[in-house]
Amino acid sequence: MIVVFDAYGTLWDVGAIEKACAEVVGPGHARKLLDLWRQKQLEYAFLHTVMDRYTAFEQITANALKYALASLSLEISAAAITQLNRAWWTPKAFTDATPTLQALERHTRVILSNGDPAMLAAGVQASGLDPYLEAVLSVAPSRRFKPHPKAYQCISGRFGEAPNTVAFVSSNGWDIAGATSFGFRTIWVNRAERPPEELGVRPSVVVRNLRDLPTTLAHLFKS
């Protein structure tokens, strides 16, 4: 079985980047900065796709940070801006990521992310997940960001599997909606217990953390 994972927010804890923000702007501004930065990072990726103006995710991340700093009236040095942007290249894995990937060693374990290829390669090394993954795929060749169907087509193009035979795992509700619409069997890792997105589709299964994944997969593909 092919088990596809989103990276940022699913295997990697985006919240850990708050530490980098705190080092630069102080703990009082760190959470607000990170929240707005992440919001704009995703929004810009979606907008670039809609406008058919593909831009590297690294540049989108830098542009989103520029907006967030201006919006919050925070002025920092060029060196500090570089430090913050580089934090996306050295993510920390959630504590349940490695044990879960190890438990799924009989399956083909894959990342599919909006991140650029170089960012993802650095990320799997920094987070220690490289030994537990058979492939790390960026949507870059499709020139579309998730949740566009062409982004998910990267999996079918690489492995030649029908979508309904692929398990797709993400903590992002919008990503789950896109993957479900594409035809994947989806598992939403709802760590924050958020309500589902109202986009006309629902995940195949909802779990609280990655530890539930091996048992969930066995049941999901029996049906």
pLDDT number for residue 220 = 87
pTM: 0.96
Rounded Cα distance between 62 and 39, Å, is 13
Specify whether 202 is located in the same domain as 121: yes
* pLDDT category of residue 169 using cuts at 50, 70 and 90: very high
Query: What's the whole-number mean pLDDT along residues 44-51?
Result: 98
Asked if the peptide bond before residue 27 counts as cis, ω within 30 degrees of 0, the response is no
Over the stretch 49-80, which tens digit does the pLDDT of each residue have?
999 999 999 999 999 999 999 999 999 999 99
CATH classification of the domain holding 182:
3.40.50.1000
pLDDT number for residue 219 = 86
Catalytic residue IDs: 6
Query: What is the tally of structural domains in the chain?
Result: 2
Specify whether 46 is located in the same domain as 129: no
pLDDT number for residue 223 = 60
**Residue 123 above 70 pLDDT?**
yes
Specify whether 98 is located in the same domain as 193: yes
Asked if 1 and 221 count as a contact pair (C-beta separation under 8 A), the reply is: yes
Specify whether 76 is located in the same domain as 185: no
Pick from 89, 118, 145: which residue ends a domain?
89
Specify whether 207 is located in the same domain as 106: yes
CATH classification of the domain holding 73:
1.10.150.240
**Residue 101 above 80 pLDDT?**
yes
DSSP-assigned letters across all residues of 161-206: --GGGEEEEES-HHHHHHHHHHT-EEEEE-TT-PPPP-SS---SEE
Domain hosting 112: range is: 2-13+91-220
Rounded Cα distance between 65 and 99, Å, is 33
